[in-house]
Structure 1
Amino acid sequence: MTLLCGDCRDVMPAHGPYDLIVADPPYGETSLSWDRRIAGWLPRAAQALTPSGSLWVFGSLRSFMATSGDFRAAALRHAQEIVWEKQNGSVFHADRFRRVHELVAQFYPASARWQSVYNAVATTDDARARVVRRKKRPPHTGAIPSSTYRSLDGGPRLARSVQRFRNAHGRAIHPTEKPVALLDLLVRVSCPPEGLVGDWFAGSGAAGVACRLAGRRYVGCEIDPDMAQRARDRLAAILPFPVGEPS
């Protein structure tokens, strides 16, 4: 577990290649001094991926629309997106819907085929009971089954693209901290066991916590020295887990 302090554009490429990059860059939607879009990081991130690697980026629809040309210039192709639904949200205007979601979009190099990108299919065991009709007519003589239908309760199904996680309000050490549970999902789905995750805008180090819990290696970068030290302290307090899938 390594957390660097500096500009991700300068320090992160040398620590790759990465099986997965997670990034929560400033969206550039407020007047806050730190909320300024960072130019030039996407090409460096794309070049730092392994041949089977991908990139998950947090953002709003507004921020993705504003930076769509940057993704194309970096030769990154959109794969899919998750809508992260929060238990509460924010609103900048009193006459608009309260925003209770963020987008997390996955990209991979245009030179690669999606089939070659690492992807552990996300499933959930909360499938509803359903009735399955037999393919063959039951016999009408001899051993007649007691029922021509059977009910399948539960079982795996594809995870939904809308994922609900509580945000970190009230316990966050960074103003835009993301929930570890959400990051854990992204890490397990898109980084192979023993793989390396690069966190280019580390903030509080929440992605590092997720990597520790998921048994993946981690390199993060935070430009603010005070926050970088707080993130290091947070990671040092997490009990070590063996590399690989927890049993």
Structure 2
Amino acid sequence: MTLLCGDCRDLMPAQGPYDLILADPPYGETSLSWDRRVEGWLPLAAQALTPSGSLSVFGSLRSFMATEVDFRAARLRHAQEIVWEKQNGSVFHADRFRRVHELIVQFYPATARWQDIYNVVATTDDARARTVRRKRRPPHTGAIAAGIYRSLDGGPRLARSVQRFRNVHGRAIHPTEKPVPLLDLLVRVSCPPDGLVGDWFAGSGAAGVACRLAGRRYVGCEIDPDMARRARDRLAAILPFPVGEPS
């Protein structure tokens, strides 16, 4: 496992190719000095993927709307989105709903086919017992290809696109730190065993912890030297071997 300190645009492309890139870039929604959108990283990330690799990006709807042209320019195609539901959230405006969710959107290169992208279908075992049935696409989906899903009595069902995980408020070492169980889910479904995960905005190194738990290789990059040091200390505490130092 390696955690670099510096600008991901300078350091991360050479560390690939990556089976999965996780990115939690600044959303650009506040007046905080560090909350500024980073330009130019998306095409570099797209080029650093393996032929079966994908990119999962954290953000708000506003941030994705503001950067939609950048995803198109990087020739990245939307695969799916997950809504991360928290037990509490942020109040940006006192006259609107309290926002208790964030989006994780998965992309893959437009030159690839989704069938060639590594993807483990996420399931959950909380389905109620029911008879076997076949599900075909509803007529209103038009040209979307038909899919057949076989549901066994009391067996697994497809995981829902809304996933609930407690955030880490009160115990985080980074202001936008994501929970390890959520990152662990993303890593397991989108990166093959012993594959390489690139964490381009590493922050606290939580994704590195998830990779350790899932048995995936990890390269992270954090631009803040103090945070990079704290993230290395966090990773070193769970690893039986030294965490890589910056070049």
Partner of 2:111: 111
Partner of 1:184: 184
SS in 2 for 1:130: coil
Task: State yes or no: 1:208 paired with 2:211.
Answer: no
State how far apart, in whole Å, the 2-side matches of 1:59 and 1:9 are.
19
State how far apart, in whole Å, the 2-side matches of 1:132 and 1:121 are.
19
Partner of 2:173: 173
| Contact kept? 2:84, 2:163, Cα under 8 Å | yes
Partner of 2:140: none
State how far apart, in whole Å, the 2-side matches of 1:225 and 1:95 are.
38
Q: Which residue type is aligned with residue 75 of structure 1? A: R
Q: Which residue type is aligned with residue 18 of structure 1? A: Y
Partner of 2:7: 7
The higher radius of gyration belongs to: 1
State how far apart, in whole Å, the 1-side matches of 2:171 and 2:215 are.
24
Q: Which residue type is aligned with residue 86 of structure 1? A: K
Structure 1 residue 196, shift from structure 2 partner: 0.1
Partner of 1:146: none
Structure 1 residue 129, shift from structure 2 partner: 2.0
Task: State yes or no: 1:39 paired with 2:60.
Answer: no
Equivalent residues, number: 223
SS in 2 for 1:227: helix
Name the TM-score, length of structure 2 as normaliser. Answer: 0.88
Partner of 2:79: 79
Structure 1 residue 4, shift from structure 2 partner: 0.1
Q: Which residue type is aligned with residue 61 of structure 2? A: L
State how far apart, in whole Å, the 2-side matches of 1:132 and 1:226 are.
55
| Contact kept? 1:212, 1:240, Cα under 8 Å | no
Structure 1 residue 154, shift from structure 2 partner: 2.6
| Contact kept? 2:132, 2:153, Cα under 8 Å | no
Name the TM-score, length of structure 1 as normaliser. Answer: 0.88
State how far apart, in whole Å, the 2-side matches of 1:195 and 1:37 are.
29
SS in 1 for 2:3: strand
| Deviation per residue, 1:85-132 (Å, 9 max, x gap) | 000011111110000000000000000000000001111111012245
State how far apart, in whole Å, the 2-side matches of 1:56 and 1:192 are.
15
Q: Structure 1: which 5+ runs fail to align?
A: 134-151, 242-247
State how far apart, in whole Å, the 1-side matches of 2:240 and 2:210 are.
12
Q: Structure 2: which 5+ runs fail to align?
A: 134-151, 242-247
